[in-house]
Structure 1
């Protein structure tokens, strides 16, 4: 298992789209905080709100990196070669999802810590160990949402056998299409990108799902798409 994980990690960081996604998920939130015009004397709530908004802007990077995790197998028809080195499709499927989960968690932690460091230098307030632990605890749920979004994107990559298709589906939803659909129909709040929006909003938006309901809805999308993608990955012929 460890050898397979190490191999997948090497493959992941050898693919340009994956590297671009990880870098984007870290750099874009930092650029937002560095360019945001906020008062130097901010309250704890304002600090947390800025950090959560910054993490939301890391979503596109997570989508690109996750699409690249499986998409690289299809973009160059490399899956047949991969299965020659790892004949067990189930093991390969699990290893890839464990790998993307570890990378997303690490990326989320790095992005959060760097964001807090930027906020530390930007705002004149007393930063105690208790405050930092409270802030880090508050961003644990958004990182969980990152993980679920990565699973959804990876599943779409398997279903469509494409690198570009999941990006073309998820990015517009993240960048505003889901809000446009919500203006047309209330059912849009159950989209995986909009269901967890309150995790990144202070105060919460009353018309959207609350944090835990949103996570549950997003997890339902994960279960549905992972089930379909797992079946296709295990039984679909490889070209």
Structure 2
């Protein structure tokens, strides 16, 4: 157990020493709440009860007050997916894998330590970033918004759903990065889905709802979104993606030959 905990601490130290980690923290924890402030000011200008009929620039009516701010969740999801993919594929660059195996000879413990380290980082960023985003939104709305600290039961519920979505997609991206030994495949697969491709495919074909990002959208869909709020279905689909990605990458990792390439 002590050696496993040392491996987890080693992986966390590796992540925290990367510039990418701090850039992602900056984007998710600082830029996303700032974007929420700007967006909320825009809502105040047009009115919280604005509809496409009263405001030509709106595609959909604004959601009920409890759901304000959750339209920004996909903004921070992008750096989280990038983070997971890079951490998964980074081990195979510059002979890092052989160096890591010198510190922890057990590939099983090493793989589990990496998964746990990514999970801890994803939980840390997602909880702080999403809470600050929703809190900043209602702080800007002032008396028209919710209490920016305590929010509401619905808002807290959707924060939980959004956090779960970020965590599962980060782990999925990590698993794909480990499986394909690079970050290109998970990013090429997931990033276009974040930028509306997943929504387009889900609306055009029924099978599109089983893509990971489209399934994740079901967790925090608001009453005015073009898709229904179905967290159970979304979680099940996402978990299946994550289980398949991690189990496959685990199998290939423990059986792969490090050789001179890695």
TM-score, normalized by length of structure 1? Answer: 0.88
Pairing 1:20–2:23 present: yes
Name the residue aligned to 1:29: 32
Deviations 1:135-178 (A, max 9, x none): 33331121111111011101110111002332222111111222
The CA distance in 2 between the partners of 1:116 and 1:217, in whole Å, is 26
Displacement after TM superposition at 1:47 (Å): 4.2
Displacement after TM superposition at 1:134 (Å): 4.9
Distance 1:206 1:118, change over 3 A: closer
Correspondent of 2:215 among 195, 206, 210:
195
| Higher deviation after alignment, 72-81 or 98-107 | 72-81
Pairing 1:61–2:64 present: no
TM-score, normalized by length of structure 2? Answer: 0.81
Deviations 1:91-137 (A, max 9, x none): 11111111111111111121123223312321123628764565333
For the 8 Å contact 2:91–2:97, the answer to whether it is kept is yes
- Ranges of 4+ aligned residues in structure 1 off by more than 6 Å: none
> Any idea what SS the aligned residue of 2:111 has?
helix
Pairing 1:127–2:111 present: no
The CA distance in 2 between the partners of 1:84 and 1:230, in whole Å, is 19
Total equivalences in the alignment? 238
| Higher deviation after alignment, 48-57 or 95-104 | 48-57
Distance 1:113 1:205, change over 3 A: closer
For the 8 Å contact 1:20–1:65, the answer to whether it is kept is no
For the 8 Å contact 2:88–2:173, the answer to whether it is kept is no
Pairing 1:113–2:116 present: no
The CA distance in 2 between the partners of 1:218 and 1:183, in whole Å, is 18
Of Structure 1 and Structure 2, the greater helix share is in 1
Name the residue aligned to 1:38: 43
The CA distance in 2 between the partners of 1:191 and 1:128, in whole Å, is 34
Equivalent runs, 1:126-165 vs 2, <5 Å: 127=147, 131-132=151-152, 134-165=154-185
CA RMSD of aligned residues (A): 2.4
Pairing 1:81–2:99 present: yes
The CA distance in 2 between the partners of 1:28 and 1:215, in whole Å, is 27
Displacement after TM superposition at 1:197 (Å): 0.9
Pairing 1:220–2:225 present: no
Unaligned runs of 5+ in 1: none
Pairing 1:91–2:109 present: yes
The CA distance in 2 between the partners of 1:164 and 1:129, in whole Å, is 39
The CA distance in 2 between the partners of 1:167 and 1:24, in whole Å, is 17
The CA distance in 2 between the partners of 1:48 and 1:102, in whole Å, is 28
* Greater C-alpha Rg: 2
| Higher deviation after alignment, 111-120 or 91-100 | 111-120
